[in-house]
Amino acid sequence: MDNQPKESRLNEFIENPKKALWKLSLPMMFGMSVQAIYLLVDTAFIGKWVGGTALAGLGYVFPYFFIIMGITFGLGSGVTTVIAQYIGAKDKKNADNAAEHTILLGLVIGFLIICFGFYYGEKLLVLQGADEATVILALDYFYILTGGSIFMVLSVFFRSILSGEGDMMFPMKVLGAGTVLNIILDPIFIHYYQIAGAAIATVISQALVTFVFIYALLFRQHSYVTFNLKDFTFSFAILKNIFRLGIPASLSMIIMSLGILLFNWILGTSDAVAAYQTAGRIEHLFFLPIISVATSLVTLVGMFNGAKRIDLVKLMIKYGLSRSVAISLSFSILFYFLSETLMPVFTNSTEIARLAVLYFKIMAFAYPFITIGMTSTRIMQGLGYAYPMFVLTLLRVVIISATLAWYFVMVLGKPVHYAWVGTLISCILTSGASLTWLRSIVKRSFKTALETG
């Protein structure tokens, strides 16, 4: 690191956009892979050492923290888009100002999460139908993670700032190091403090990651955007722009959280919830490359759109979609044929393992359609249209998936795995809608570029 100002990556990305996609995606993919390994190790330790009740407790806690992550990652994606568009338009002053607003926003959100979590935490767990023993274990994990949630929020926002300027390598190194530390601390703290130990290890690692970002960006100026908080001037227009692009993404992830809550309620038993949530953590391996490519497309499409290079936007749409679908097909094959081998690693319960295998046998067919929907909505966000993500997520998760799951399981009395059949149907339908919507927005953006160009 040095104190010299960094150069914008815009020209580099324009010269070779395909290479730029992988230059952005691969470091992020690697960093997220380390995080995914942590999630799997965490799940395995808790499932094997603490037991199935603790595993179910994680399942009941997860929707709440998915809401927190949804708000944070959603607004973070808005930050990424805003900064990328300002850099594409060569407006560094506003890019800097947007980054400064992001830090202020992170502090406010972190404080609100802590207050809400400590007041409503137990009510949220009971609302999902968790029994008393599960609630007691879950709260041990819940309150510690809530207390340290401000570090998670700030670390995500710092990463979003760097993503907006096209720097994926440094965040990957920092987050990867934090996750490795988490993996090291996990078995030690779980051994002494059971499920609470997993939360303690997570908070410690997230706090250290946040302090590294603060030191690097605010004191060593390791970024193209610069921070001068002493001369900070509040701009409602910049904050409004971040919210305009970020809130729909946040709402879409909150809807996904509500969908998980609904599924926990529909599935009914602790074994089914444990199977659903454990499979979801393993499934995270599939989402890593897809999220990495989709997030990188937000940066590239945002920059190219800001520079009025719609030809490059079209190129990245075709290239990004085709590569993402190819990756998803490989994961479909992997999970379909290897799920029976994977599950005994994470639980001693034959019933939890059986239900999780059924989940993978069904969802393997949904992954390519999930990929199309996720990538299309991220591209639309990069073009400045964030609401399609919200609308399509609402359609997929609540209107189609949860409704079909409720009808199959609670009305027709089918086995719980029919809930995931409903999810498969919803993914197929909404992928077609997302492609149609994307085509319409690209035509509109191309027309606007010609009129203003």
Residue 4 above 50 pLDDT? no
Alpha carbon distance 383, 389 (integer Å): 12
Taking residues 106-134, report their average pLDDT.
Answer: 83
Whether the predicted pLDDT of 450 surpasses 70: no
DSSP code at position 229: G
Write the CA distances from 393 to 50, 250, 409, integer angstroms: 35, 11, 22
> pLDDT per residue over 333-387, tens digit each?
999 998 888 888 777 788 888 998 999 999 999 999 999 999 999 899 888 888 8
Lowest mean per-residue pLDDT among 11-25, 104-118, 221-235, 329-343: 221-235
Check residue 13 and give its pLDDT: 84
Report pTM.
Answer: 0.71
The mean pLDDT value for 128-133 works out to: 72
Q: Mean pLDDT throughout 398-403?
A: 91
Contact partners, residue 215, CB within 8 Å, separation at least 6: none
Q: Which residue type sits at 89?
A: A
Would the CA dihedral through 19, 72, 142, 258 be positive or negative?
negative
Does pLDDT of 230 surpass 60?
A: yes
Per-residue model confidence as pLDDT tens digits over 251-309: 887 887 778 778 878 887 778 888 887 888 788 777 778 888 988 898 888 888 878 88
Six-digit token pair at 134? 């599960």
Least confident range from 41-55, 138-152, 336-350, 408-422: namely 41-55
**What's residue 5's pLDDT?**
45
Nearest CA to 22 out of 300, 409, 354, 399 is that of: 300
7 band by pLDDT with thresholds 50, 70 and 90: low
Backbone region of residue 413 per phi and psi (left: phi > 0; alpha: psi in -120 to 50; beta: other values): left
DSSP E strand stretches across 265-344:
none
pLDDT digits (tens, 9 = 90+) for 133-144: 778 878 888 899
Residue 402 near residue 263, CB atoms below 8 Å: yes
* Unique residue bearing structure tokens 């300027």: 165
Left (φ > 0), alpha (ψ -120 to 50) or beta: where does 225 sit? beta
Q: How is residue 145 written in tokens?
A: 């993670």
Report how far residue 63's alpha carbon sits from residue 364's, in angstroms, rounded to the nearest whole number.
Answer: 22
Pick 401 or 44 by higher pLDDT: 401
The maximal CA–CA distance of the chain, rounded, in angstroms, is 66
Tell me whether residue 214 is exposed, middle or buried, using C-beta atoms within 10 angstroms of its C-beta: 0 to 12, 13 to 18, 19 or more: middle
